[in-house]
Amino acid sequence: MEVVKVDFKGTKGIPPSGLCVGVHRAGAMHQKMVEKYGNGIAVWSLRPENDFIAFKSLEDEEGIRSTNDMDSIKDEKLIYGVRGAPPEIRRQAKEQGLELLADATCPFVIQQEEAELELLDQGCHLVILSSRTHHGIPRLMGIAKEKEREVFIVEKEEDVADIRLTRFEPVGVIVQTTFWMESYTGIMSRILERFANVRIRNTACIDSLQRLPKVEELARDVEAVVIFGWTEGMTNRMEEVARAFNDNVHRIEKVDDLERSWFTGMSRVGIVGANETTDDLVNEAVERIKSMAA
């Protein structure tokens, strides 16, 4: 059986580690802070359980931990994690007098927040093209709440009918960083049909733009697709894209999740890593699939 792996080496915007720019950069910042300050570091994170999976060396470090409970941070120095922090969390950190060592928020997340603020300042009501469960939603809602604005989340074309605004009210649209561009097009034409005053900021990140088309290519080319990832953003999008072109899509969070029965009778299987999955982990999974076929 042939195992086709999507190799992101040399792909614009994707570091050789296979991680996305944001995760790669945040991991390097965490590492640097540990080297510089030794221990007593807390990373405030929207997804603390995922923070160090890509960085095994940090997972084993005793001096750094990841948490989403700001009250639990007392004598530690603070870092904001790759997914950013809502305004109320940043305010609480200041009130607690915590020392902020670094803000590892992904530059694309910052860009998205800036776009949101710009649209809100222009008087727009906010529409976010995103899945409702995406970890970034509380952060974006928190920003809109500060400005006392309502937010409408649109996941699919039918949701556009539920936006409680009249035709001439100003609508500002931002896109979840890991949104799939194919669904974006359909939703946007509905929004433009319904509203007369629409401003759009395309805040999808370069990682999605590079990674998701490769998933489509792979899904069209193989008999089964394995998606290796654990984030609800990129991993869900990859699954959505792969399922649109292939009936045999499996998702794993670790190499041990692979099942021999998925590949019975197949000669060509594909695998792709999500934005927090290192190239080394994907290679390990490739070897396991090969050994299952032997």
Binding footprint of ligand SF4 on the chain (CB under 6 A): 20-23, 82, 106, 108-109, 177-178, 205, 207, 234, 275
Alpha-carbon gap, residue 68 to 129, rounded angstroms: 25
Nearer to ligand SF4, 76 or 207 (CB): 207
What is the bridge-based pairing of β-strands 2-5 and 268-273?
A: parallel
Nearer to ligand SF4, 246 or 275 (CB): 275
Alpha-carbon gap, residue 237 to 215, rounded angstroms: 10
What's the gap between Cα 27 and its chain centre?
Answer: 15
- Min dist CB 187 to ligand SF4, Å, is 19
Nearest to 74 by CA among 53, 95, 105, 104: 95
Alpha-carbon gap, residue 34 to 286, rounded angstroms: 33
For ligand SF4, the nearest residue by Cβ is 22
Nearer to ligand SF4, 23 or 160 (CB): 23
Alpha-carbon gap, residue 282 to 119, rounded angstroms: 40
Give the 3-state secondary structure of residue 232.
coil
Nearer to ligand SF4, 23 or 286 (CB): 23
Nearer to ligand SF4, 89 or 109 (CB): 109
Nearer to ligand SF4, 27 or 142 (CB): 27
- Min dist CB 79 to ligand SF4, Å, is 15
- Min dist CB 268 to ligand SF4, Å, is 28
- Min dist CB 172 to ligand SF4, Å, is 19
Nearer to ligand SF4, 104 or 219 (CB): 104
Rounded to whole angstroms, the maximal C-alpha distance in the chain is 63
Sheet holding 64-67, edge to edge: 64-67, 41-44, 77-80, 100-103
The answer to whether the beta carbons of residues 132 and 155 sit under 8 Å apart is yes
Helix (H) or strand (E) holding 200: strand 198-201
- Min dist CB 262 to ligand SF4, Å, is 26
- Min dist CB 211 to ligand SF4, Å, is 8
Q: Quick one: residue 40, left, alpha or beta (phi over 0 = left, psi -120 to 50 = alpha)?
A: left
- Min dist CB 18 to ligand SF4, Å, is 12
Nearer to ligand SF4, 98 or 115 (CB): 115
Alpha-carbon gap, residue 202 to 209, rounded angstroms: 11
- Min dist CB 253 to ligand SF4, Å, is 17
The two structure tokens encoding residue 140: 């974006």
